[in-house]
Amino acid sequence: MRQCKKIGLRVVAKEAYEAEVPDFKHLLTSINARKPDLLYMICSGTGTDASMIVTQAKEMKLNARLFVGGGVGFTLSEFQKDADDASDYVFAVTLWEPSVNYPGVRDYYSNFVKKYNEPTEYHGAQAYAAMYVIADALKRAKYHTPHGVRDALSETDMMTIFGPVKFVSYRKKKLQNKIPTLLGQWIHGKFGVV
C-alpha cells in the first residue's frame, strides 16, 4: 500500500486487465475486499469495458464512495446506455464537453448533430479545432516550409472550440499545448461538467 499524504488516501490496489474481457468480477472482488474509498478506473477506447466495470461493481455492491473514470470510454453516450443506472454519479475526466463555454461550441455541436444525427465527443471537437489552428498558422507562415510552418505554430495564441491553443515549452517538453482537463459526472443519464 502506498500513502498519498496530502489528502490522506492510500492506494490499496493497482491492477491491469486484458481489454474487452467479459467478466471483471474476480478483479472487483479482490479490490472490494480491500475496502476502497475511491475506485479510479482507466479504460481507453469504447465505453464497453467502462460500462461493464461499473455495472459489475454495482451488482457486487462494491461500496467505494467515489467512482472516477479516466479515458474517453467513460464520457461516451454508449457508456451510459450500456451501464444504465450504474453510470449514475460516476465522475469522468474529459478534455471537452459540449456544455463548455468556449466560443463556437454550441454551433459546432448542433451542426454536427444535425448533419450526423448523433452527438460528437472530444475527438471530433479536437480535430475540428486543429483544422482552424493549422489554417491560422498557414496564413501567418512567412514560408510554407516545415520550418516556416513550425515557426508560425510556435507563435499561435488563439481560442478554439476545444479551448485555448498556445504552444509552450516547459521542463524537457517542446512546443506543447496545455489543454485544460475537465471533470464531468453522469447524473440520471446526462453528463455534465462539475
Tell me: the pLDDT tens digits for 100-125? Answer: 999 999 999 999 999 999 888 888 99
Residues 144 and 142: their CA atoms lie apart, in Å, by 7
Strand 91-94 relative to strand 66-70, pairing: parallel
Q: What is the pTM of this model?
A: 0.80
Backbone φ and ψ for 37, nearest 5 degrees, come out as: -85, -30
- Of all residues in the chain, the percent with pLDDT exceeding 90 is 59
Confidence of residue 1 (pLDDT cuts 50, 70, 90): very low
What confidence tens digit (pLDDT) does each residue in 24-77 have? Answer: 898 899 999 988 889 998 886 667 888 999 999 999 999 888 999 988 889 888
How many other C-beta atoms are found inside a 10 Å radius of the C-beta of residue 104? 16
Sketch the domain layout of the chain as residue ranges. Answer: 2-13+21-95+181-193, 105-177
Whether the Cβ atoms of residue 60 and residue 102 lie closer than 8 Å to each other: no
Give the bridge partners for 160, in sequence order. 163
Question: What average pLDDT does the chain have?
Answer: 89
Contact 92, 68 (CB under 8 A): yes
Q: Are 162 and 125 in contact (CB under 8 A)?
A: yes
CATH topology of domain 2-13+21-95+181-193: Rossmann fold (3.40.50)
